[in-house]
Structure 1
Amino acid sequence: MAKVFKIVPTTQKYDWGKIGKTSKVAQYAAAAKIPGFTLDENAPYAELWMGTHPSGPSRLSGSDTTLLEYLSSHQDLIGEKVAERFKEAGATKGNLPFLFKVLAIEKALSIQTHPDKKTAEKLHEAQPNVYKDANHKPEMALALTPFTAMCGFVPLPQIATYLKSTPELSALIPPTISKRFVSIVSSPEAPEAEAKQALKDVFSAVMSAEESLFKAQLERLVQRYEAGQEQEAEKGIKELVLRLNSQFPGDIGVFCAFLLNYVKMNPGEAIFLAAGEPHAYVSGDIMECMATSDNVIRAGLTPKLRDIPNLVSGLTYGAGDARRHMVAPAKFGLAAHTQLYDPPIPEFAVLQVQVPAGETEVHPPIDGPSIAIVTEGQGALEWDGEERLDVSEGDVVFVGAEAGLKIVAGSGGRLTVYRAYVEV
């Protein structure tokens, strides 16, 4: 087979997904005519998986062969450098070090974090039925449509302001913990370790509050907001609190609106979540890329297993403006129509390619493998001087290591492609 070929992704239906054709996942699956896919206008289409993960393996187009099976016997497509660098993660057996996804979010995902490698190994050994692999799972979200999320702890002075202005929140925290937190935040000489411990104590107290207590306080909070009695400091998160409570009534996770940054992103903006960073995607359609893993530690806004002790103990407790999580796009070599999103990890980077009608874009050879999805328009991919593959919206393509690529937009409009890759 050629160095570049189409693969068939896997669609996932979860209750938080967008319904029917409002979902980008459903739109792409329908446009690409994925075998066996029939659009159900009442079903929640949440994720489109592109990669070798066993929970949703991609297959070669027109075949029952999985991408994992094929790459395991065609190591040249992974590339010698990548195979050796990610040998422990199974690259020499065909496993890609990244998983590429489309997410379509109607209902907020859980308050969660992902463990670092060392913690993942311990969790997998202790609870293999819950934490099913020993890998870490740093991830990046790149907005396709207007997108909202909670990510990372807000600046500590902001939490102190909420403790003073929001009695329902302060009621969940023992006075000794609250006073110590405010005291440390007010002291410019307070050591960073003390500030992190104080934040950990506050977060732990909130997430561990007795159910009868936090349900009563959340009810009071919602009633106050619905009556238009929010304080000035609360206006920025009132909408979020009411939205989360409507989706997860009486859930402790709603109080995370006071502790985590609420970000509103435009298409083309991206955030990166390293290990130990609390987050929850709230709404919108995104491209998501992550290390190949299924490890999620949850603590709120979910009917799934909540593991508050491991979540509390595994966070970094860094705090600050959400901009510290943003990934600024950069130039990709000499390419005129490509933006590079390169988070500070080795497993993946993502390219956004937007080629105007009738024009071309050239990508130089990359040491490792990549997966690309067409999200808009039609055109062709060309490589090795003679090879050509026609593509259109929804098509997913595997590109082998060392394959230089020419992306050709059709005459009918712009061709947009997102390409995830690994390169050592």
Structure 2
Amino acid sequence: MAKVFKIVPTTQKYDWGKIGLSSKVAQYASASKIPGFTLDENAPYAELWMGTHVSGPSRLLDSNETLKDYLASHPELIGDKVIERFRDAGAAEGNLPFLFKVLAIEKALSIQTHPDKKMAEALHKEKPDVYKDANHKPEMALALTPFTAMCGFLPLPQIAAYLSSTPQFAALIPSAIVGRFVAIASSSDPTGPTEKAALRDLFSAVMTAEPSTFQPQLEALVKRYDSGQEKEVERAVKDLVLRLHSQFPGDIGVFCAFILNYVEMNPGDAIFLAAGEPHAYVSGDIIECMATSDNVIRAGLTPKLRDIPNLVSGLTYAAADATKHLVKPSAFDSVAHTTLYDPPIPEFSVLRVVLPAGTTETHPPVDGPSIAIVTGGRGVFAWGQGEKVAVSEGDVLFVGAGSEVKLTSEDGQLAVYRAFVEA
């Protein structure tokens, strides 16, 4: 039984994905010659799934058996400690506690959040056709290309500044709520109970505004911005407002530009979104890792089901600068060309490898399973007693628990992302 082997990911076509080979998803699927994959240059390739989730299960390249079934038959590849720690997530049945993805974003994703474990269990019980599993979904996004996103609530003074400068935004909210919010906006405790309640009232008022109220205001706002009449404080959001409106004309989610942080990231930058944090990815290609779940609560910028009551009730309302969400990479076991992204949850961490041509780097054994994707270059993965496999862009590999792996770059720089879990 091999401890390292290639697996076949699943591609997902969603409306917001990048078209044809402009998408990293399509590029990787084409380069690695995924069995059964035929490129459609006019189709939106949005996601590449690597893992055991039932909605997009990976398979072994050699046998076409699902990764989940194979791991259930060979639990030593997951490891006793991980099986015990994540037994409730189905680890004993071959389920990995994380789901690894590539996303290629042309059109903004919905204004959304993910439930915590308790809320996920309740939603799954109440609406199993919508919320199809009972797990939470904290997630981390690492930029492959320049990437933009909205994430978390803006600092309260910044929201108050928009209320003062943007009458079309303030018009959506009852004056009593505006007054209470402005009164606490400069609080020294922005995450205190009074401050959170005021932010919740404001956000709820915006997201539940009637179309007859917000659509004329949005039309007036866009007309003002198109004519170059934005105020100084609005310049930071003007382009975002116009972009979102062009993609989702007349959608209340456009006003979230005045409520949520907007971040612009370069390759190698990362953000982490815990349960209850509102966000929307706007553009770019990313590596994404999350707890194994597909639970999404949506409220705007989407043609899909909107569940505003559950979104409003499930948010943390912890207003802060966007730096709160940044994940700073650190050294990985003193290995020279690998950095570690380690968010504050047990389900996953991610390694980023950028290996110069002709060099070899050894990853020490990890006490749990991992999945790696080659995002650039060619090279070799070696393990055990001389076992090895050639890899190139788009290849996806499973690495069993306790396996030391040697990576060698050939013909230029080798780039690899590797998600793993340790108990």
TM tier, smaller: over 0.9
TM-score where L is the length of structure 1: 0.99
Write the distance in 1 (CA, Å) between the matches of 2:20 and 2:334.
Answer: 40
What's 1:258 paired with?
258
What's 1:416 paired with?
415
Structure 2 residues not aligned, in runs of 5+: none
Overall identity of the aligned pairs, in %:
73
Write the distance in 2 (CA, Å) between the matches of 1:168 and 1:113.
Answer: 25
Write the distance in 1 (CA, Å) between the matches of 2:85 and 2:139.
Answer: 19
**3-state SS of 1:160 partner:** helix
Q: Given residue 181 of structure 2, which amino acid in structure 1 is its aligned partner? A: F
After superposition, the CA RMSD in angstroms is 0.9
Is 1:396 the counterpart of 2:374? The answer is: no
**3-state SS of 1:385 partner:** coil
Is 1:386 the counterpart of 2:369? The answer is: no
Q: How has the CA–CA distance of structure 1 residues 190 and 63 changed in structure 2, closer, same or farther, with 3 Å as cutoff?
A: closer
What's 1:7 paired with?
7
Q: How has the CA–CA distance of structure 1 residues 316 and 85 changed in structure 2, closer, same or farther, with 3 Å as cutoff?
A: same
Q: Residues 57-104 of structure 1: CA distance to partner in whole angstroms, max 9, x if unpaired? A: 000003221000100000000000000000000000000000000000
Write the distance in 2 (CA, Å) between the matches of 1:409 and 1:138.
Answer: 33
What's 2:357 paired with?
357
Superposition deviation, residue 36 in structure 1: 1.1
Q: How has the CA–CA distance of structure 1 residues 189 and 248 changed in structure 2, closer, same or farther, with 3 Å as cutoff?
A: closer
What's 1:348 paired with?
348
What's 1:116 paired with?
116
Q: Given residue 84 of structure 2, which amino acid in structure 1 is its aligned partner? A: E
What's 1:306 paired with?
306
**3-state SS of 2:243 partner:** helix
Q: Residues 289-318 of structure 1: CA distance to partner in whole angstroms, max 9, x if unpaired? A: 000001100000000000000000000000
Q: Residues 318-337 of structure 1: CA distance to partner in whole angstroms, max 9, x if unpaired? A: 01110000000000002110
Counterpart contact for 2:51–2:100, Cα < 8 Å: yes
What's 1:44 paired with?
44
Counterpart contact for 2:370–2:399, Cα < 8 Å: yes
Q: How has the CA–CA distance of structure 1 residues 189 and 365 changed in structure 2, closer, same or farther, with 3 Å as cutoff?
A: closer
Q: Given residue 239 of structure 1, which amino acid in structure 2 is its aligned partner? A: D
Q: Residues 336-388 of structure 1: CA distance to partner in whole angstroms, max 9, x if unpaired? A: 10010000000000000111100001100000000000000001001113111
Write the distance in 1 (CA, Å) between the matches of 2:210 and 2:189.
Answer: 34
Write the mapping of 1:8-407 to structure 2, written as runs, cut at 5 A: 8-188=8-188, 192-407=192-407
Q: How has the CA–CA distance of structure 1 residues 250 and 35 changed in structure 2, closer, same or farther, with 3 Å as cutoff?
A: same
Write the distance in 2 (CA, Å) between the matches of 1:406 and 1:30.
Answer: 26
Superposition deviation, residue 194 in structure 1: 0.3
Write the distance in 2 (CA, Å) between the matches of 1:302 and 1:228.
Answer: 28
TM-score where L is the length of structure 2: 0.99
Q: How has the CA–CA distance of structure 1 residues 414 and 189 changed in structure 2, closer, same or farther, with 3 Å as cutoff?
A: closer
Superposition deviation, residue 191 in structure 1: 7.8
Q: Given residue 224 of structure 2, which amino acid in structure 1 is its aligned partner? A: R
Q: How has the CA–CA distance of structure 1 residues 176 and 81 changed in structure 2, closer, same or farther, with 3 Å as cutoff?
A: same
